[in-house]
Amino acid sequence: MARNGGVAWMRTTEKIDGYDLSTSDTEEVHVLAVDDSLVDRKVIERLLRISSCKVTAVDSGRRALQYLGLDEEIQKKETNGFDGLKVDLIITDYCMPGMTGYELLKKVKESSAFREIPVVIMSSENVIARIDRCLEKGAEDFIVKPVKLSDVKRIIDYTTTELREGEQREGARARRRGINKRKQREGDDDLSSSPPSTLSSSTSSSPSSSIQSATAPLSPSTLDSPTRRLKMTSSE
């Protein structure tokens, strides 16, 4: 369900520092954008807002971890536990002073609470070794800067699909936990084979699932991203 940017402005509110304390809107994707560059932060924020996302933009990996509640130093002091809204996606610059995007990626993927959050890396340098390293560490995708609207739309599309699939799986699991035991047995079989079937039905498939189930058929549209082509070859 593609959201029309023209409709979105009625719903999203403009925040200066991006800390949105309103209750979570399950329809909108909440993105944590991390970039030390003022210009890039402004642009990525706008790109995300126009793609109907809630955005929290921070200027360093450290602040990103603080926002998530992963910063060890802060955690002990933080009694009111400001963790803001649930983050659905992290999009981070690679080259940053202090903590690089790669280090942030590592920290997120190593945490039990946040490892499920997809992380997208942005970089002005199109270095294969760098891309590989990030993907191996669990990055969802790698965007070469300057970032375009099409890049953002692509990422939001499959994040939304993944979220919806996740919710569907949750819902299906809940239904299966229901009364009928016979259905429960069949449901377990369904669960193990469900990723490929959902992938083939959706036009914007998840590339991370393609690594887990290498046999999953992907539609041509998912091969737009060079990273995905890379992932396809590395998973084969």
Partner 1 sequence: MDRNRLHNQVASMRRSLFDQGYLDDQFIQLEELQDDTNPNFVQEVVTLFYNDSTRLIQNIEQALNSRPIDFCKLDDYMHQFKGSSSSIGAKKVTNECTAFREYCNAENAEGCIRSFQQVKQEHAILKRKLEVYLQTVTSFSNSMSCMETILSYIAYTIISSSLYIENMDKYGKLFGTTPQTELGVDKCLTTL
Stretch that binds partner 1, among 37-45, 194-202, 204-212, 224-232 (CB under 8 A): 37-45
Q: Which residues pair with 58 in a beta bridge?
A: 34
Q: 46 or 229, CB closer to partner 1?
A: 46
Site for partner 1 in 80-109 (CB under 8 A): 95
- Report, in Å, the least distance between residue 85 CB and partner 1: 21
Q: 15 or 176, CB closer to partner 1?
A: 15
> Can residue 50 be called a binding residue for partner 1 (CB under 8 A)?
yes
x-marked contacts with partner 1 along 117-156 as a string, rule CB under 8 A: -------x--------------------xxxxx-------
> Can residue 202 be called a binding residue for partner 1 (CB under 8 A)?
no
Q: Which of 42, 115, 173, 185 binds partner 1 (CB under 8 A)?
A: 42
Chain positions contacting partner 1, by CB under 8 A: 5-6, 9, 14, 36-40, 42-43, 46-47, 50, 95, 124, 145-149
